[in-house]
Structure 1
Amino acid sequence: MNTLFPIFVKLDQLQTLIVGGGYVGLEKLTAVLANSPAAPVTLVAPEIRAEIRELAAAHPGVTLVQVRYDDTYLTDKDLVIVGTNDKAVNRQVQADCKARKILVNVADTPPLCDFYLSSVVKKGDLKIAISTNGKSPTFAKRFREVLEEMLPDSLQETLDNLTAIRQQLTGDFQAKMDRLNEITKVLK
């Protein structure tokens, strides 16, 4: 049973650390910036791929530090994502995060994760996160692709219209909810 609690965090208001400068580090940095382009991110690794450097050059909030991981890089961090090819380093970062009560994700190692990165469907302001409880990121990715094809691009117009309607509604909370439920009933 999937007992994960889904949340959407404001990464542009958090300090994120990514440990790993290879392909997985690139994948994680890309995912972070695709969802929160202004997020302040520090990426630490002894070697950093050229693609990561290019991505960082386009995002002023990204700081690259080409050194081996050290726990001092956890200072003032709110969230950590680990993606190195060194299992000992991954375990050390996870242990250091636990000691400091910092949430951590260790790529491809569900037992070491406090949270999982979801596969995300985006249509304007609509965001749908897909989780397989860490069991199959590939399935989540494929399902995301199916949903992206199914959902019309016109959803943003619908969201904008519903926002305008919501702002014009009067009455107590229950009356507003009843009216919005009536309006959106056509989505069934």
Structure 2
Amino acid sequence: MNTLFPIFVKAENLHILIVGGGYVGLEKTTALLANSPNARLTLVAPEIRDEIRELAQQYPKMELIQEPYHALFLADKDLVIVGTNDKDVNRQVQADCKNRRILVNVADTPDLCDFYLSSVVKKGDLKIAISTNGKSPTFAKRFREVLEEILPDSLQETLDNLTAIRNKLKGDFVQKMEKLNEITKVLK
């Protein structure tokens, strides 16, 4: 049973550390910046891919540190994502985060994760996060592709219209919810 509690984090209000400068580090950095381009991000690794360096030039709140991981890099960090090919480093980062009560995700190692990164469908302001409880990121990715294809691009217009309606509604919270439920009943 999937007991995960889904949340959407305002990454631009956090300082996020990514440990790993290879392909996985690139993948996690790209996903983070695609969803939250104003996120404050520090990436640390002894070697950093050129594609990551190019991203850092495009995002002023992204800092690269080309050094091996050390626990000192956790200072003032709110969230950590680990994606190295060194299992010992991955375990050390996870242990250091636990000691500091910092939430951590260790790529491809569900047992070391406090949270999983979801596959995300985006249509304007609509975001749908997909989780397989860490069992199959590939399935989540394929399902995201299906949803992206079947959800119409006009959803943003619908969301904008519903926002305008909500802002004009009179009454208390319950009355507003009842009216919005009536209006959106067509979605069933």
Aligned to 1:111: 111
Aligned to 1:150: 150
- State the 1:168 CA deviation: 0.2
| Gap regions ≥5 residues in structure 1 | none
3-state secondary structure, aligned to 2:18: strand
- State the 1:172 CA deviation: 1.0
What is the letter of the counterpart of residue 24 of structure 1?
V
3-state secondary structure, aligned to 1:129: strand
Is 1:97 paired with 2:94? Answer: no
- 1:7-156 correspondence runs (5 A): 7-156=7-156
Give identity over the alignment, percent. Answer: 80
| Aligned counterparts of 1:52 and 1:33: Cα–Cα separation in 2 | 11
| Aligned counterparts of 1:48 and 1:166: Cα–Cα separation in 2 | 47
| Aligned counterparts of 2:173 and 2:12: Cα–Cα separation in 1 | 30
The count of residues paired between Structure 1 and Structure 2 equals 188
Q: How far does the alpha carbon of each residue in 1:45-66 deviate from its partner, in whole angstroms, 9 at most, with x for none?
A: 0000000000111001100000
| Gap regions ≥5 residues in structure 2 | none
What is the letter of the counterpart of residue 45 of structure 1?
A
Given the two structures, how large is their TM-score scaled by the length of structure 2? 1.00
| Aligned counterparts of 2:150 and 2:187: Cα–Cα separation in 1 | 14
| Aligned counterparts of 2:42 and 2:172: Cα–Cα separation in 1 | 45
| Aligned counterparts of 1:120 and 1:27: Cα–Cα separation in 2 | 13
What is the letter of the counterpart of residue 43 of structure 1?
L
Q: How far does the alpha carbon of each residue in 1:15-49 deviate from its partner, in whole angstroms, 9 at most, with x for none?
A: 00000000000000001000000100000000000
| Aligned counterparts of 2:186 and 2:134: Cα–Cα separation in 1 | 34
Moved over 3 A (4+): none
Aligned to 1:6: 6
3-state secondary structure, aligned to 1:128: strand
| Aligned counterparts of 1:170 and 1:65: Cα–Cα separation in 2 | 53
- 1:162-181 correspondence runs (5 A): 162-181=162-181
3-state secondary structure, aligned to 1:48: coil
